[in-house]
A = this chain, B = another copy of it.
Amino acid sequence: MAPTTKDLMYKLQHKDKNTKARAGVLKTAHGNIQTPVFMPVGTRATVKTLSNDEVRSTGAQIILGNTYHLYLRPGAQIIKKAGGLHKFMNWDKPILTDSGGFQVFSLSELRKITKEGVTFKSHIDGSKHLFTPENVVDFQAILGSDIMMPLDECCPYPSTKEYVEKSLKITHDWEKRAKVHFDKLKTDQKLFAIVQGSNFLDLRKISAEFLGELDFDGYAIGGVAVGESGEIIREVTEYTTALLPENKPRYLMGVGLPLDMLDAIYYGIDMFDCVIPARNGRNGQAFTFSGEINLKNAKFKEDLTPIDKKCDCYTCKNHTKAYIRHLFNVGEILALKLVSLHNIQFYVKLINSAREAILADNYKKFYNSFKKKYKNKG
């Protein structure tokens, strides 16, 4: 696709010699972001268990918020009064907000797609709401997120091709309407597209081409890692990424485990978000460069070493596995934070290391070396 006259938010810095991996910079209203980048998830205006200072200490450059959740609670009125999500939660770095499409289809009840958009009942109090491509953009304008996402339908896996084709038509219509509406706002926020098509490569192609023509600020791949095999995830990611504009940032939504992210970087993905480091951390699972361990395991009862001796996160600098295991064992909240903090910092560092490897034309070696070492050590 030909570059447009419009200022691009993405600057491609370097392409790795031996893979499709790339390093770049994303320009946003709240600062620049070095890519590839991992974005911690702060669904309800907080990265679970962590204070903003702690999130910053992990090296996170940008966090996520979620339109569906924030629309329901605390709602537009108070966020508007506060002057947007940044001020409401006191986070001064970039924020990306998901459109809520995924949550409408996975959490809410009695969803019904109409000409306007999708009506649904809140999973919290059963109240009835309507999301349209336009009002979802408007709500994200109130949130003031640096990057907003358009309303889409993320098909469940597996779905029939007939279902996915029909869904894709609606999603494309919604995204186009979102773009038209967004362009009227004249905001310094950015709007990404979401490429759908489930595991059908020909539909992914149609989606990437249709949306590519519409000149969004960036391109996301949605509907990946929703239940399909690793092989299909890799196939769809590799195939679809190659179809996305080179001069725009590429975001693989909701992925994933460390190796999933490194695979995707290999194919040319720039941005990731995932709840795994925080969610699994709250269950005692810690990630390190040599693999995963579960701190609830009795074998750590008297282990007076940190999760990772080489890690410089607050948790590893201050506490032992035995101490953290004790906290889990007696049900202390501090345990949840200590492991979430470590894991998010690990995710941030892993992706930063990938970036460094790319800049040194060394990504393939970095990738193979990590894959060889990384084990689930239980």
The chain A residues found within 8 Å of chain B, CB to CB, are 44-46, 48-53, 69, 73-74, 77-78, 81-82, 88-90, 301-302, 304, 314, 318-320, 322-323, 326-327, 329-330, 332-334, 336-338
Extra contacts besides A73-B326, A77-B302, A82-B322 (9): CB < 8 Å: A44-B332, A45-B327, A48-B334, A49-B334, A50-B334, A51-B337, A78-B301, A82-B304, A88-B322
Contact A88 B323 (CB under 8 A): yes
- Out of B90, B318, B334, which one reaches A323, CB within 8 Å? B90
| B46 engages A318 (CB within 8 Å) | no
Copies of this protein, total: 2
Asked if B334 and A333 make an inter-chain contact with CB atoms under 8 angstroms apart, the answer reads no
A interface majority secondary structure = helix
How near does chain B come to A200, taking the closest CB pair, in angstroms?
Answer: 37
Instruction: Decide: A322 near B50, CB < 8 A? Known: A81-B302, A81-B304, A330-B44.
Output: no
Q: Considering the chains assembled together, what is the distance between the CA atoms of A69 and B46 in angstroms?
A: 32
Contacts A82-B304, A89-B323 given; does A329 touch B74 at CB 8 Å: yes
| A320-B82 in contact (CB<8A) | yes
Q: Which residue of B lies closest to A319 (CB)?
A: B90
**In the bound complex, CA of A354 to CA of B304 (Å):** 41
Q: How far is the CB of A66 from chain B (nearest CB, A)?
A: 11
Which residues in B have their C-beta under 8 angstroms from that of A336? 333
Residues of chain B with a CB closer than 8 A to A89's CB: 323
| Assembly CA distance A337 to B47 (angstroms) | 13
**Chain B: minimal CB distance from A306 (Å):** 11
Contact of A332 (CB < 8 Å), options: B48, B90, B314, B326: B48
